[in-house]
C-alpha cells in the first residue's frame, strides 16, 4: 500500500465500527497517524488494537460541543496538527414511522449526531486547518442524501443536510486550501443494519442493480482518495458508492 498520508494526522469519528473503522485502518495503512473517535470506548479500543500503524483512541460523543473542544485540544497538544477529518459518526432511525408520528426526542437525537455533530467537529477543527494552511474533510452522507425511503424521515433529512453542509463548507474555504467532500454510500455491510429487519435489508439490496451490499473497505478506499493529495481540485463534490442504485 502507498504512503499517501505519511506525516499526516487524521481524525476519524465513529471509528469503533463499520465504515469509520475501515477508514481508520485504511488511513493508518497509508501512513497516517490516526485519532479514532467514538462514544463506545470499549469497541474503539478493540478496533484500534486490530489496526496497523500508529493510533490514538479518544472516546468522545460528537453531539457534545465541550467534549469535542477538549478532544481536539488534546489532539493538537499530542500531534501538533490535524490534516484530515473524516466526519463519519452517524445513527439510523430510532423508529420506523411516518413523519407526523416521529417522536420529537427521536428526531432531535438523529439531528444531534448526524447534523449538529458534523457541524461541531468542523467548527472545532477548521481553525487549526486555517492556521496550518489547509486540510481535507470528508463528510459521510448517504444515498439517502438523494433518494428518500419511507418511514425514515429523520435520517433522510439529516443526510440531505450533510450533503448541503459539505457544499456550503467547500464554498467557505475554497480559497483556504481546505477541501470538503461528501461520500454517499448505498446499503453497506455494517452494524447500522442491525436495527433493520432482514426483509428491509433484502428490499434495499434488491433496489441496487448489482444486487449487493457495499463493503466498508470500499467506502474507505474512496474516502482515502478524496482526502489525499491525488484530489487537489476535488471540493464540494459528493460521490456515490451504491452498487448502481441511483443509476436508473
Q: What does the binding site for ligand NAD look like in residue numbers (CB under 6 A)?
A: 13-14, 16-20, 38-40, 43, 61-63, 88-91, 113, 117, 140, 142, 185, 187-188, 190-192
Give the residue among 140, 170, 169, 111 at the shortest CA–CA distance from 240: 140
Q: State the nearest-atom distance from the C-beta of 179 to ligand NAD, in Å.
A: 19
Retrieve residue 145's grid coordinates. 442524501
Task: Decide whether 135 or 216 has the Cβ nearer to ligand NAD.
Answer: 216
Based on the residue annotation, tell me whether 239 is a catalytic residue of this protein.
no
Give the residue among 199, 200, 207 at the shortest CA–CA distance from 247: 207
Q: State the nearest-atom distance from the C-beta of 3 to ligand NAD, in Å.
A: 25
Residue 185 three-state SS = strand
Task: Decide whether 62 or 72 has the Cβ nearer to ligand NAD.
Answer: 62
Task: Decide whether 135 or 144 has the Cβ nearer to ligand NAD.
Answer: 144
Q: State the nearest-atom distance from the C-beta of 25 to ligand NAD, in Å.
A: 13
The H or E element spanning position 63 is none
Task: Decide whether 31 or 86 has the Cβ nearer to ligand NAD.
Answer: 86
Strands 178-185 and 135-140 come out as: parallel
Q: State the nearest-atom distance from the C-beta of 193 to ligand NAD, in Å.
A: 6
Could you tell me how many residues make up the chain? 248
Cβ-Cβ contacts under 8 Å for 130 (sequence gap 6 or more): 173, 176, 178
Do 20 and 42 touch, CB atoms closer than 8 A? no
Instruction: Give catalytic residues, as residue numbers.
Output: 155
Amino acid at each position: 500500500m502507498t504512503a499517501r498520508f505519511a506525516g499526516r494526522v487524521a481524525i476519524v469519528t465513529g471509528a469503533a465500527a463499520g465504515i469509520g473503522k475501515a477508514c481508520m485502518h485504511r488511513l493508518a495503512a497509508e501512513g497516517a497517524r490516526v485519532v479514532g473517535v467514538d462514544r463506545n470506548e470499549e469497541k474503539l479500543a478493540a478496533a484500534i488494537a486490530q489496526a496497523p500503524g500508529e493510533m490514538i483512541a479518544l472516546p468522545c460523543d460528537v453531539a457534545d460541543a465541550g467534549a469535542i473542544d477538549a478532544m481536539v485540544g488534546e489532539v493538537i497538544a499530542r500531534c501538533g496538527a490535524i490534516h484530515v477529518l473524516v466526519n463519519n459518526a452517524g445513527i439510523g432511525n430510532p423508529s420506523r414511522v411516518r413523519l407526523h408520528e416521529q417522536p420529537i426526542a427521536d428526531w432531535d437525537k438523529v439531528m444531534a449526531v448526524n447534523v449538529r455533530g458534523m457541524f461541531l467537529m468542523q467548527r472545532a477543527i477548521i481553525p487549526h486547518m486555517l492556521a496550518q494552511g489547509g486540510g481535507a474533510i470528508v463528510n459521510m452522507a448517504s444515498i439517502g442524501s438523494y433518494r428518500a425511503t419511507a418511514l425514515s424521515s429523520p435520517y433522510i433529512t439529516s443526510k440531505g443536510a450533510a450533503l448541503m453542509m459539505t457544499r456550503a463548507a467547500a464554498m467557505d474555504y475554497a480559497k483556504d486550501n481546505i477541501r470538503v467532500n461528501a461520500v454517499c454510500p448505498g446499503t453497506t455491510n455494517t452494524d447500522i443494519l442491525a436495527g433493520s429487519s432482514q426483509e428491509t435489508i433484502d428490499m434495499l439490496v434488491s433496489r441496487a442493480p448489482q444486487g449487493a451490499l457495499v463493503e466498508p473497505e470500499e467506502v474507505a478506499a474512496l474516502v482515502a482518495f478524496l482526502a489525499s493529495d491525488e484530489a487537489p481540485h476535488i471540493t464540494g463534490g459528493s460521490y456515490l458508492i451504491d452498487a448502481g442504485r441511483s443509476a436508473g
